[in-house]
Every structure is written in structure tokens, then in C-alpha cells.
Amino acid sequence: MNDTPNENQSHQGATWSPLAEAMKHEYHAPKTKQGNPIDSKDPGTSSSRLIAIILTVLLVLCVVLWQNTGEEIKYKSLLGKAPPVTELSSDTPAPGSFSQVDIAGRLFLRGYEVFHTQPVMHNIETPGVLYSYEDRVRIIMLAGEFEGAQSALDRAQALQNEINGKAIDPLNPVIPDDLIVAELNALETIYTVGIDQLEENQRDQLAARYGLIGKVALTHGLDNSDKQRAPYINGFGLLAVLGIVLILGILVFPLAGFVLLILGVIQYSTGKMKLRNHVPTPGGSAFLETYALFIAGFLLISVGSFYISNSSNPQVAQLAQFSLLAQWLLLLTVLWGAIRGMLFSDWRKAIGWHSGEGVLKEIGCGIIAYIASLPIYILGVVITVILLFISGAMSGNSGGVEELPEPVSNPVFEIIANGNFFTIAMLFILATTWAPVVEEAIFRGALFRHLRGYMHWVFAALASAFLFAFMHDYGPLLVAPLIALGFMFAFMREWRGSLIAPMTAHFLHNFTLMLFMISLVQLIKDPI
């Protein structure tokens, strides 16, 4: 027999009270207009809340400023010196390793047997884009393979003329780009008289600075089955499998997500979707304090890691390898609510570390909600592409002197390609375990809970999503996809009450990206 009063009986029983009902962990306690159960006020006074607000604003501003500050200012403010000048040499990788041009070139070279008769250069070289000298050397070598020697020579001559006509700063009268000039001379030799006429130092420079692309150029004219050339232009089978999986994922999952998103909107708009999150009574500050502590710790670790990594003391610099491990210390900030005096069971319920309606069901809801969030994430990606296009068009029409860009590399790709097993493992665990656990507990657990006591869940979700996005150092033009993800993660918290669903979605997203990047780099990096 069920003695728990239902909603029709609850106001008639003399012994019933909202507190007693809440203690039974039923959902018949007082609710907001949106149907969410209301919790009692979190620990904290008006004074502690004011202090927490001030500290949070200051710390967030400091983090955003730090994430968007140039290297030169960081060096001068922390280390009291200018950043070291990058010494380019003939035996170290050229800037732009695993840049867009480098990755595209490696992909097409791995599938040379398939693509060598196809017009692939328009997929590598975008007309009107200002490339660095190093990327232009890569483009010259790729043109030699896919368009022929004359195309490569034309591009090489154009770059040679540009360098010869470049004005030399009278205050720094150094002959510029000597490495590039030497490489252009080597490439001219390859495409006119053949690779046999290259000097040993020219061979070594192209191979060391340009990796796979340079090594393929050093086999120009050889038969594709030649043992010197074959290892660099094979291996497309696994890349094709990876590409097929990616294409199917791009086609199937967003389409399924769009259907699920529509169904979810219908369920929510008709009131059939039950929102299970417990909303706190406004007035507390414990979870805002939790967020402020996390931001303070994050800033301390970020600044400390930069200082250690760039210290002139070699013993201090050796500690840089543990910077990824140091981020796990931020997990301790999540416990602040319990340390503040909350009962552990109440704290777990408040921050979302509970099983909801069952772990397996919550995980399933997280998977479904993540698939439904993919169209919104793609919308964020489209917004980013549009912003980047507008930014590029505006800078191109500014009328000022164009400055040669630095080749843009992806640091994650570089870590995967050049890091040891320990570093790659730490990066993978950080993305697939630390981020889903700690970031969800802070942004969708503590911060969203505090904001939820003062505003509708949509506004609380947007606010937490913006703060989540700008914690990353992607820059203002690249945060739209993160805002989209942060909003959907916050919705999952509001929908399920438990953090298991957003943690699951966060894990799926990061795991998929990391698995794809690791697989891609392993397939296109230089063969040993």
C-alpha cells in the first residue's frame, strides 16, 4: 500500500508538510511556475554573496584577460623580459606544422594514387588568402606533385620575386628569409634538373623542416612503387575508413539530432517534459563561492604553468610536464559546499552528484540529449565560420599594409604528433575525464544552481554557457560552438536534475574529437 500522499491528497492530510514530503525525496514539494521543485536556501548571507559576486567578476575578468593576452605582455609582466626570439634553423620543423595547409597536404599525399590526377590544389590553396612563406613553400611542393613541375616553378618564382622586392628595415638590416631562399633554390633544382643534383644539406633541410611533404618532394620523379617514395604516398585505406565514418557521422547523427530536437521542443512546449532540477531559494552564496574558488585556482595554475614552462631555471622548467596533472587539484574546489557546512547528502543533491532516476537511465538521457544538441552545435560552427569570413574580409579591405601572417598550428595536433605516451595519455584523460567531471560540477553544478535561484533556466543556461566558453583561450570569434554546447549541457541539468546526463554528453563530445584527432595524426604523421 502506498501511503505517500498524491497531489490531490497532499493539501488535505493533517500531517503533510512540504518539508516532510521533500525529505521523502518525492517531487511534490513547492514548485516554481515552470514546475521545478524548490529547495531551501543555500548557505551564505547577503554579505558573503556580495563578496562572492565581486570576487567572481574580478576573477572572470582576469581569466578572460589572461587568455587573450599576447605572449610578449605575459613575458614582460611575469618574467620581466621579452619573449625569446624563435631561432629558425635548417634542422628543426618549420612553423606551421599541422597547420591547415600541412594537414590537407598530408591527407592528399597519403592518397596520391587516388588524387594525383584530380584538381586538388583548390582544396589546399584558397585564392585571396595571405599565406606565410613556410605554407607557400608547402604549397609549391604540393603543386609539384599534383599539377606538375612547371606549376611549382611558377609559384616558386613568384615567391622569389616577392622576397627580392621586400624592403629591408634600415634599423635591422638583416637579409630576410635566408632559409626560404635556400629552399626555393633547392626546389628549382628538383623541378628542373632532378633530385640527384641536390646537395646533402639541401635534402636534410627540406626533410627536417617540412616532414612528409618535404620528403615526398625529395622523391619527385621516382616511380610510385620505388622504396624511397612508396612509404610516403601509401596508407590511404585507413584514412578512407576514417573519412567514411566521419561522413556517416556528419550525415546521420545531426539528422537524427534534428528530429530529436524537434520532438524535444514539442514535448517542452506542451508541458509533457518534466523538469527535475531542484531550484534553490534565492539568498545563498555557497555555490557562487565554489565557482569563484575554481576560477581563482584555474587562474593560479594557468599563470603558474606559464611561468614554469618559460623559466630560465632548468630545474623549474622541468616541472612543466606536470602542469596537466596540476589541473586535477581543481577538483577539490567542487567540495566547497560540503566544507561550507552543508550536509553531504544535501550537497550532493544540490550540485547534481546523484543518480537521478537511475544511472543507466540518466546516461541514456545524456546520449539522446547530446545527439539532439548536434544541430545547435553545428549552428555555432556556422556562426564561427561566418564571423571568421567577415573578419578576414574586413582586414583585407582595411587599406593598410598587409602583414605576413604566422602559420597557425593546432597545439593539440602537435602534442599528439610529437608528445610521448605519458603526455598524450594525460591530454586524453584531461579531455575525457577531467572536463566532464570538473567542468560540469562547476559550470552546470555550482554556477548554474546559483544563477537558477534568481532567473529562468534559459537565462541561467545562457549566462553559464558564455562564462564556460570564454574560459577557453579560443578567442571571441571561435566561442560560438562552445556557447552552444554549454547551453545544451545546462538544459540537460535542468531537465534531469542530475549531472550524469551533461557529464555523459560532455564525455561523448570530447572523446569523439580526441579519438578522431589521435587517429588522424597517427595516419598522416611522418612514417618512421
Residue-wise pLDDT tens digits, 120-167: 999 898 877 788 899 999 999 999 999 999 999 999 999 998 888 765
- Is 309 found in the same domain as 443? yes
Decide which of 191, 209, 234 is a domain's last residue: 234
Residue 67 maps to a domain = yes
- Is 196 found in the same domain as 229? yes
- Is 224 found in the same domain as 348? no
What average pLDDT does the segment 59-75 reach? 87
**Going by DSSP bridges, is the β-strand pair 279-280/38-39 parallel, antiparallel, or unpaired?**
parallel
Residue 29 maps to a domain = no
- The number of folded domains in the chain is 2
- Is 228 found in the same domain as 260? no
Q: What is the mean pLDDT of the chain?
A: 85
Residue 158 maps to a domain = yes
Residue 130 near residue 138 (C-beta atoms within 8 A): no
What average pLDDT does the segment 380-409 reach? 67
Asked whether the predicted pLDDT for residue 115 surpasses 50, the reply is yes
- Is 329 found in the same domain as 299? yes
Q: Which range of residues forms the domain containing residue 173?
A: 112-234
Residue 10 maps to a domain = no
Decide which of 234, 261, 276 is a domain's last residue: 234
Asked whether the predicted pLDDT for residue 397 surpasses 80, the reply is no
Asked whether the predicted pLDDT for residue 290 surpasses 60, the reply is yes
Residue 20 maps to a domain = no
- Is 478 found in the same domain as 418? yes
Residue 294 maps to a domain = yes
- Is 259 found in the same domain as 188? no
Residue 33 maps to a domain = no
- Is 305 found in the same domain as 430? yes
Nearest CA among 495, 503, 33, 508 for reference residue 265: 495
- Is 265 found in the same domain as 224? no
- Is 414 found in the same domain as 280? yes
For 31, the 3-state DSSP assignment is strand
Q: What is the pLDDT of residue 256?
A: 96
Q: What is the pLDDT of residue 201?
A: 93
Residue 17 maps to a domain = no
Nearest CA among 248, 272, 285 for reference residue 41: 285
- Is 267 found in the same domain as 172? no
Q: Sorting pLDDT into bands at 50, 70 and 90, what band is 16?
A: very low
Q: Sorting pLDDT into bands at 50, 70 and 90, what band is 396?
A: low
Residue 452 near residue 435 (C-beta atoms within 8 A): no
Residue 465 near residue 294 (C-beta atoms within 8 A): no
What average pLDDT does the segment 81-94 reach? 81
DSSP string, 185-230: HHHHHHHHT-GGG--HHHHHHHHHHHHHHHHHHTTTTS-TTSTTTG
Comparing 139 with 67, which gets the higher pLDDT? 139
- Is 58 found in the same domain as 141? no
Decide which of 234, 267, 284 is a domain's last residue: 234
